[in-house]
Amino acid sequence: MSSARLLLDMQQIDQRLATSAAEFRKLASELQSEGNLKRLRDESEVARVKVLETRLEHGKLDAEVSTQKARIESIETRLYSGAITNLRELTALEEEHNLAKRNLATAEESVGPARLASEHAAAKHEALQIQLIDTEEQWKVTSKELKKRARDVSKVCKGLELERNGASAGVEERDLALYRNLLPRKGGVAVARVERGICQGCRIKLPIREMGQLKSADNLVMCSSCGRILLAT
């Protein structure tokens, strides 16, 4: 069998190997990213922190409302007790009373929206938790299938590698080196058939001289247009 023919056989194995290797890489990457799980876990963690933050804010405002109410009550007790007769002291207390009322109003205005935000954050976190549990269950099944498929594809790859090594056995080292060099540079097609005088690698008609070489030469003949190894059919 001619070198070019042996190389074409190798190329067919290499092409199948490339397809299987690409599938294996895809499976490995799917397994590594754990489907949607990573993204969901991140989102759930962000939502959990948001729950804590909004709860804290709501708690602070609630405490502020209580504080201001207590303060107003204490000021009013002093104001209306009749014990303070000094005008300056009375004015100061009234100012303090107004300030406390303003502070209370501000806190009361914010406490409602803060409670809503806290409830909203809790609901969102809960929904994400449920989604996460569901997705984790699904992933258990999916990952099992993916792992099995990856093992199968890996076996196919190993088999093809053995087959390729066997196919390369009869090829001269110099021709093999040329083939290996061409394969990645020519989009996985290092050997091209010649049909009706046309190189199937680049679809260009071969000059008569090249056709002659192809028929008579023992060495590999390259396409003068695309540089691929030619195989007469």
In the complex, which residues of this chain contact Zn ion (CB under 5 A)? 199, 201-202, 223, 225-226
Alpha carbon distances (Å) from 53 to 50, 85, 120: 5, 47, 12
User: CB of 171 within 8 A of CB of 10?
Assistant: yes
Instruction: Please state the closest distance from residue 178 (CB atom) to Zn ion, in A.
Output: 15
172: its two tokens: 């001269």
Q: Which is nearer to Zn ion, 114 or 214 (CB)?
A: 214
CB-nearer residue toward Zn ion: 148 or 205: 205
What does the block give as tokens for 137? Answer: 């269950």
Using CB atoms within 10 Å of the CB of residue 182, give its burial: 0 to 12 exposed, 13 to 18 middle, 19+ buried: buried
Query: Would strands 229-232 and 191-195 be described as parallel, antiparallel, or unpaired?
Result: parallel
| C-beta of 90 vs 204, nearer to Zn ion | 204
Between 4 and 201, whose beta carbon lies closer to Zn ion?
A: 201
CB nearer to Zn ion: pick between 10 and 192 = 192
Give the integer Cα–Cα distance in Å for 17 and 11: 9
Q: How many residues does the chain have?
A: 233
Our CB check for Zn ion shows the closer of 47 and 190 to be 190
| DSSP designation for 193 | E
Contacts of 60 (CB under 8 A, 6+ apart): none
Q: What single string gives the DSSP state of each residue in 12-28?
A: HHHHHHHHHHHHHHHHH
CB burial class (10 A; 0-12, 13-18, 19+) of residue 195? exposed
Which C-beta is closer to Zn ion: that of 51 or that of 214?
A: 214
